[in-house]
Chains A and B, each alone.
Chain A
Amino acid sequence: MNITVTVNGAARTSDVEPRMLLVHYLREVLGLRGAHVGCDTTSCGVCTVVVDGLPVKSCTMFAVQVDGRSVTTVEGMASNGQLHPVQAAFHEEHGLQCGFCTPGMMLVAAAFLEENPAPTEEEIRWAISGNLCRCTGYQNIVKAVETAARNMASTEVSQ
């Protein structure tokens, strides 16, 4: 089936089987390998991407479902060579170790901060509770989201 999807701002047209999962479409047809596969039960969230502004687990969607829609992956977070504040904050606060959960975690964090720009620690932990991490113990991820929130707020203020 022919689908046209706006991925990171660019229209991409492909012919895919209906059963092809969105995560496989992104990784193997489009070569965007930032989204990963980590489980069989929609539990881990390393496949998370953003569809029409909302994070979804791309292993639990068919590519054909995003025909005509827009998808943002980690590869689309930076703009004009500038890291997204969330990406910069993850680096600043050592919010990653092996990096496997990081793309999904950052996309969820960025979408969350758009909805809640000044979150508490509790709210952050709740927001990322659909994304598992084995390496960091989450504390530095929380710090990264707090730092990103502060930096995004001060950028706004100065504008």
Chain B
Amino acid sequence: MFPSQFEYHAPASLDEALALLAEHADEAKVLAGGQSLIPLMKLRFAAPPIIVDINRIPGLDGITEEGDTLRVGALVRNRALERSELVSARYPTMAAAAPMISDPVVRNQGTFVGSLCHADPQGDWGSVMLALDGSVVARSQAGGERVIPIAEFIDGPFTCTLRPDELAVEARVPDPGDDFAGTYLKLERRVGDFATVGVAVFLAMSGGTVTKAGIGLTGVGATNIKATAAEQALVGNTVSDSLIEEAARLAADASDPRTDVRGTADYKRDVVRVYVARGLRAAAGTPVA
């Protein structure tokens, strides 16, 4: 309940923040929502000597569609995504996941980008981004700007590929097109629990044929998992019950769950299969013109 001491900085601009990260690098942790970092600090699982609080930096809280990309700033709270009409209309996988993140009060503070940086294999947003082929934009004083595809961004449990002097300023999601659908299903023991199993599904269609498929899995591997074989089985085909079952089976095969208090590995694998099938059926049944 009582964090260790640290030196606190609250830069007023992005340049100031980047300068601090350049100077302190390994010793500094970025504080945005704090809903993952501060709990770790209270239990003393983390004791960063330097905290860089970016909450005062202007211009990082936008949810906008520019050209063919959704841009979600580093300070966009989960609450805002939950209420965004743009997200609800154009990014249904995200819209379905947003209310499932933690609980309503934590969502007021926690950020989307911060969650990606935390890279918890039981974090829901990582799977959503894998399904949507999103990316994270990093800025640093030395290196300018770097766009990191999500599959390269998530490196291992609680590890992302940001360098110590880099700040993630934005997440990007590609345009879904004109005919798309998606959802997020989460099996949790209760509100606020991490996923026993989470499944992100995205389908883009053209004239009844799948042009793009995204399936991301939460809580069934060392990191969030992109079920590429399942995705490939769908692309170029017409959706049918047997195709859905096949994709669901491939997604289950792609998962690598562990037996723990939430259930056995066999159980979780089977839930992946059932949930992917349900998610795909829901997506295939609700095309968006």
Chains A, B in direct contact (C-beta < 8 Å): yes
Separation in Å of the A2 CB from the closest CB of chain B? 12
Binary contact track A30-52/B, C-beta < 8 Å → 1, others 0 = 00000001001111010010000
Separation in Å of the B247 CB from the closest CB of chain A? 31
A60 (CB) vs chain B CBs: closest residue: B38
On whether A17 and B5 interact (CB within 8 A), knowing A42-B35, A65-B53, the answer reads: yes
Q: How many chain-A residues does the 8 Å CB contact rule pick out?
A: 30
When distances are taken between beta carbons in the complex, the residues of chain A under 8 Å from B46 are none
B7 (CB) vs chain A CBs: closest residue: A18
On whether A40 and B43 interact (CB within 8 A), knowing A18-B8, A62-B8, A129-B192, the answer reads: yes
- Decide: A18 and B51 in contact? CB cutoff 8 A: yes
B69 is an interface residue with CB less than 8 A from chain A = no
Residues of B within 8 A of A (CB): 1-8, 10, 31, 34-35, 38-39, 42-43, 51, 53, 55, 79, 99, 102-106, 108-109, 191-192
On whether A48 and B8 interact (CB within 8 A), knowing A60-B39, A65-B53, the answer reads: no
A134 is an interface residue with CB less than 8 A from chain B = no
When distances are taken between beta carbons in the complex, the residues of chain A under 8 Å from B5 are 17-19
Q: How far is the CA of A42 from the CA of B192 in the complex (A)?
A: 10
A6 is an interface residue with CB less than 8 A from chain B = no
On whether A19 and B3 interact (CB within 8 A), knowing A42-B106, A129-B192, the answer reads: yes
Known: A18-B5, A42-B38. 17 other contacts (CB 8 A): A1-B8, A18-B8, A19-B4, A21-B42, A40-B39, A42-B106, A48-B105, A55-B104, A57-B109, A60-B34, A60-B42, A64-B10, A67-B10, A108-B105, A126-B99, A130-B104, A130-B192
Interface core residue of A21, A59, A62 (most chain B CB under 10 Å): A62
- Decide: B35 and A126 in contact? CB cutoff 8 A: no
Interface core residue of A19, A43, A59 (most chain B CB under 10 Å): A19
A131 is an interface residue with CB less than 8 A from chain B = yes
When distances are taken between beta carbons in the complex, the residues of chain A under 8 Å from B31 are 65
- Decide: A126 and B104 in contact? CB cutoff 8 A: yes
Separation in Å of the A56 CB from the closest CB of chain B? 5
Separation in Å of the B50 CB from the closest CB of chain A? 10
Q: How far is the CA of A1 from the CA of B1 in the complex (A)?
A: 20
When distances are taken between beta carbons in the complex, the residues of chain B under 8 Å from A1 are 8
